[in-house]
Amino acid sequence: MFSENKFRETHRRGSIEVICGSMFSGKTEELIRRLKRAKIARQNVEIFKPAVDVRYSDTEVVSHDSNSIHSTPVENSASILLLSENVDVIGIDEAQFFDAGIVDICNQLANNGTRVIVAGLDMDFKGNPFGPMPALCAIADEVSKVHAICVHCGNLANYSHRLVSNEKQVMLGEKNEYQPLCRACYLRANDQDSGH
């Protein structure tokens, strides 16, 4: 008879870990740290990022601190499933840029025993939930919300304030286009931007 203990020993436990926060909060840094640890443990690791994200590199996930790890750029979430055979740990960066299908893909992978680590912005520059991130947080086994430091007052920041005039939700940017702000400084900055 197949005992429950034997099942536990032979069946890999899948999970979904979400790392979310504002820009410059260390999301990608934390993703890279976890993936490098998995590699040290000799696990088979694969990293994906949206093909649209070419800020620092076409084929690497790169943090603002210039830490990097090789990745596979993909056009859509379905490609992740196709490229994930025999993988123990999957990292996904900039998940907010993926289509809604990313949620089912992550669930499928975790249900099949893969550890899935997802990093992304939880809010856009208007302070609204960003893309599939709320749904990913809802299905995650673990959510880590990381914070930047507010460039105005030094408190913890969880807003990405856009410094340039552009209403498009998706606008790849860095320190010249965005700055991390706490709630109070974000509200003040938006009041000033709207002329109140």
Has residue 97 been placed in a domain? yes
Has residue 154 been placed in a domain? no
Q: pTM of the prediction?
A: 0.85
Has residue 57 been placed in a domain? yes
pLDDT at 53: 62
| Burial state string for 48-65 with b = 16 or more CB within 10 A and e = fewer than 16 | bbbeebeeeeeebbbbbe
Contacts of 5 (CB under 8 A, 6+ apart): none
Contacts of 122 (CB under 8 A, 6+ apart): 20, 21, 22, 96, 129, 130, 133, 134, 137, 145
Q: How far is CA 56 from CA 69, 105, 109, 160, in A?
A: 12, 26, 28, 19
Max avg pLDDT among 50-54, 62-66, 133-137, 165-169: 133-137
> Which tens digits make up the pLDDT trace of 124-161?
999 999 999 999 999 999 999 999 999 999 999 999 99
Helix (H, G, I), strand (E, B) or coil at 126: coil
As a whole number, mean pLDDT of residues 29-43 equals 95
Check if the beta carbon of residue 98 is closer than 8 Å to that of residue 77. yes
Reading the block at residue 171, the tokens are 């606008």
As a whole number, mean pLDDT of residues 38-51 equals 94
Residue 36: give its domain's CATH number.
Answer: 3.40.50.300
Has residue 167 been placed in a domain? no
Has residue 129 been placed in a domain? yes
Instruction: Please give the tally of structural domains in the chain.
Output: 1
- pLDDT exceeds 70 at position 5: no
20 forms bridges with which residues in the sheet? 120, 145
Q: Which domain holds residue 141?
A: 12-146
Has residue 101 been placed in a domain? yes
> Which tens digits make up the pLDDT trace of 154-170?
999 999 999 988 777 66
Specify whether 94 is catalytic: yes
Has residue 53 been placed in a domain? yes
pLDDT at 66: 52
Has residue 66 been placed in a domain? yes
Q: Name the catalytic one among 94, 142, 167, 177.
A: 94
